[in-house]
Structures are given as structure tokens and as C-alpha cells.
Amino acid sequence: MELGILIGVGVVLLWALWNLEKRISRRFEEQERQLRAFSEVIQDIRNIVSELKGRSLTSSEKEYRPYASAKRIALPEVRNWIQGQTLSLISCSYYYPNKDALIETFEYKHDHVDDSKRTEWGLTVHGFNRTDGEEEWRPYTFLAGEKECSTSSCSGTIRLIF
């Protein structure tokens, strides 16, 4: 008789635990669904804020955005470029007295790094460039330092558009 009571109590406990697990699982799934919906709302808000920022930027700020999101490059990376390799680069230069940056995007065809021409801003890198719509390549040089690349006039920096 005692065994029967223990079995009965055990069955009731198992049934209670099974129901509890079921309720917890349903609550967890509901909270997970609400969290996904909340995440979607947050992403929508981020998109709206980004669009509003884009509308409120000045023309020079809009022009600067691609440069700001481009990848910094330095001498170690430039050394890995292969002769003839073509890359999309962007430069940002400042010329006094103008306060706005001059942003230029161009294609660059790599030739070589000149180890004999070292300046305080880095080694001279030789190649060719052309802007959109041009067919002819022009000789182009810039300086590759350990931390970043500079224009040959040192008036700005150069980054990689990826």
C-alpha cells in the first residue's frame, strides 16, 4: 500500500513538473517572440535616424561619408599588393585657406614600393591612377607609412574603398 501511495505521489509530481515545464516553455517562446519584434522596431528606428542624418548633412559632410567608411591602409598592406593589381582608393585632402576637404575617388594600378625613397611620412609608392570615365592611366605616387598612407603632397590621406 505504501508503495502504491509513493508511486501515486511520484506520478502526480511528474505530471506537475511536466505542466510547469510546458508553461515556462510557452512563456519563454512568447518573450522570445516579443524580443524579436522589439529588435525589429529598434532596427526600423535606426534606419529612420540614419536617413534623417543623411538628409541633414551638408554637401561636404555627405561627400566625406565614403572616405570616413573606407579602410585605412598602411605600408605593411601596400607591400602585399601585386604589380598590376587595380584597387579603388579615396583621398581626403585639405588645402589652406579652404576649410572643406577635397575628396577624390579613383582607380589605382599598383607598380611598386620604392624602398630608397623614405620620408618622415613613409616610403614612396609608385603606380597609375584614373578617375571615373577616363580610359588613360596617369603616373601616380603617394606615401605609405607604418600607420597610414598620405598623398604625395602630404595634404591628405588615402584609404581603400572596399
Measured CA angle at 108 (ends 102, 112), to 5 deg: 120
pTM of the model: 0.63
Report pLDDT digits (tens) over 45-56.
888 887 777 677
Please, are residues 70 and 159 in contact by the beta-carbon 8 Å criterion?
A: yes
- Please report, in tens digits, the pLDDT of each residue of the chain (162 residues total): 687 787 888 888 888 888 888 888 888 899 999 989 888 989 988 888 877 776 776 777 777 888 888 999 999 999 999 999 999 999 999 888 877 888 899 999 999 999 998 889 999 999 999 988 788 999 999 999 999 999 999 889 999 998
What are the residue ranges of helices labelled H in the chain? Answer: 2-56, 59-69, 75-79
